[in-house]
Amino acid sequence: MAATEDREAPAPRARGGALAALTQAALALPILAIAARAGAAQVGEVGIAVLGYKERGLIKVTEPVIWANAQIAEVWEVQASAAIDIITGASPQLVTNLSGKPVQAVTGASINDRRNTGDLHVTRHFGDFALSGSYTESNEEDYHSRAYGVEGRWDLDHKLTTIAAGYGRSNDRVGSSIDQTLNAPRHTDEYMLGVTRILTPLSLVQSTVAIARGRGWYNDPYKLTLTFYPDQILPILLADRRPDHRDTLSWLTRYRRHFPGANATLQADYRYYRDDWGIRAHTLEVAWQQDLGDRWSVRPALRYYTQSAADFYSPTIPRPQPEIVSSDQRLAAFGGLSPSLRLTYRFAGGTVIEGTAGYVHDARSLRFGGGGSEAYTTLRAVFGLVSVSRPF
């Protein structure tokens, strides 16, 4: 049996961390569930993050994301964030069967876009009830979005159960750098209902159902299909044509379980998605957050995704030509695996630095049960995220 590692009494920790350290140690004990909030002596947080994403020929950098939240007079919470995305590189736009088999072609046209986005979230607490309002704005050359939402949360049963219900509305305008005349609206109404239940002092489950009803322009002005027919000299080039509505349902269930003996938390999420375009998707993500001492945490995660194709997905234009058809491979049947690793370091003063690196591999062969779309081009991408946050 080993004695406590440090033979000498350690130098006193920086003071801000002491409460967190004692609270952390108390959290491992089977005492009050309210201890889960005990570390929050802080009243606010500021943070900055840089995200990078790279797939063959396409680089997307989000720089920077800045966020801040603050609690005011104990009953108000304000949260705001801003981000700028810069996307550069070539975009696959055309699906053609020129070679005999439909494949996705990179047209050589390059994208250079910049997206500015910001949001504001305000919450007012009334005892066991909290009401939030939010506003999000996103602008880029060919896309503008304004969304607002309201959400209510009730703590029941001594905060062992929390019920949340919300409504959101998003008003978007879709344009195109190719077709300057395009300026089409899209409206989405979203309804959300969720329940969080603390099962034991060490585990909780959360389940949220969201239904969205969208109307308006869904065609992607950058997606084209070029189909050659053996009995026809001239090929047909067709723009993306999708329904003018989309109703979706997504159901997300998350489970968290802390293992005090191992200083670790299991995080398991399952998401079911369906829409009236015929897409059914399942996402399963399992992560293990392991604390290594007071300062370091490591979180390996693996996500699996699988979806069926939209009813109108086709890599070639069928004959007779249907009203709606799209060769966009995001509407195809495929599956994907995405491993990632996150490292966290906590400074004594409360500042947290986090770095995440991940890999995305989407392929038709990864579809659950097989049956992935033949024309799906395997996608491999890497992403990285670095963030710094500090409480105040």
Partner 1 sequence: MSLHRFAFRAMAAVNEVQVHAADRGAAAAMAAPAIAEVRRIEEKYSRYRPESVVSRINAQAGGAPVAIDEETAGLLDFADACWRQSAGLFDATSGVLRRAWRFEPGSAVPSREALEALLPRIGWQRVERTREAVRLPLAGMELDFGGFGKEYAVDRAALALREAGAESALVNLAGDLAILGPQPDGTPWNVGIRHPRVENVAIATLPVASGAIATSGDYERYLEVDGVRHCHVLDPRTGRSARGFRSVTVHAQTCIVAGSASTIAMLMGRDAGLEWLDGLAVAHFCVLEDGAIIDRFPATVS
Stretch that binds partner 1, among 32-40, 214-222, 233-241, 373-381 (CB under 8 A): 32-40
The candidate with the shortest Cα–Cα distance to 147, out of 125, 127, 120, 165, is: 120
Distance CA 258, CA 241 (A): 48
Report the DSSP pairing between strands 280-292 and 334-346: unpaired
Distance CA 34, CA 160 (A): 9
Distance CA 195, CA 153 (A): 9
**13/319 with CB nearer partner 1:** 13
Binding test (CB under 8 A) with partner 1, winner from 33, 50, 122, 238:
33
**Shortest distance, position 194 Cβ to partner 1, whole Å:** 23
What is residue 293's three-state secondary structure?
Answer: coil
Q: Could you say which residues in the range 121-150 bind partner 1, by CB under 8 A?
A: none
**Shortest distance, position 373 Cβ to partner 1, whole Å:** 51
**Shortest distance, position 18 Cβ to partner 1, whole Å:** 4
The number of residues that bind partner 1 (CB under 8 A) is: 40
Distance CA 251, CA 212 (A): 12
CA 261 vs CA 6, 25, 285, 288: distances in Å: 20, 11, 23, 14
Contact, 291 vs 263, CB < 8 A?
yes
Distance CA 104, CA 375 (A): 8
Handedness of CA 371, 375, 378, 384 (dihedral sign): negative
Contact, 384 vs 61, CB < 8 A?
no
**155/285 with CB nearer partner 1:** 155
CA 212 vs CA 74, 152, 205, 243, 381: distances in Å: 33, 18, 23, 15, 29
What does 79-115 look like in DSSP terms, one character per residue? EEEEEEEEEEEEEEEEEE-TTSS-EEEEEEEEEEEEE
Binding pattern for the stretch 157-176 against partner 1, x by CB under 8 A and - elsewhere: -x------------------
Q: Is 237 in the site for partner 1 (CB under 8 A)?
A: no
**223/346 with CB nearer partner 1:** 346
**Shortest distance, position 121 Cβ to partner 1, whole Å:** 23
Query: Phi and psi of 34, rounded to 5°?
Result: -65, -15
Q: Is 73 in the site for partner 1 (CB under 8 A)?
A: no
What is residue 184's three-state secondary structure?
Answer: strand
Binding test (CB under 8 A) with partner 1, winner from 13, 56, 187, 280:
13
Q: Could you say which residues in the range 245-284 bind partner 1, by CB under 8 A?
A: 260-261
**202/388 with CB nearer partner 1:** 202
**185/349 with CB nearer partner 1:** 349
**Shortest distance, position 201 Cβ to partner 1, whole Å:** 8
Q: Is 86 in the site for partner 1 (CB under 8 A)?
A: no
Stretch that binds partner 1, among 31-39, 76-84, 131-139, 228-236 (CB under 8 A): 31-39
**198/333 with CB nearer partner 1:** 198
Residue 309's CB is within 10 A of a number of other CB atoms, namely 21
Binding pattern for the stretch 193-212 against partner 1, x by CB under 8 A and - elsewhere: --------x-----------
**Shortest distance, position 124 Cβ to partner 1, whole Å:** 16
Distance CA 66, CA 85 (A): 12
**39/118 with CB nearer partner 1:** 39
**2/233 with CB nearer partner 1:** 2
Distance CA 136, CA 323 (A): 34
Q: Is 323 in the site for partner 1 (CB under 8 A)?
A: no
**41/199 with CB nearer partner 1:** 41
Distance CA 273, CA 210 (A): 10
**Shortest distance, position 13 Cβ to partner 1, whole Å:** 6
Judged by the rule CB under 8 A, the positions of this chain that interact with partner 1 are 1-4, 6-16, 18-19, 21-26, 28-35, 37-38, 41-42, 74, 158, 201, 260-261
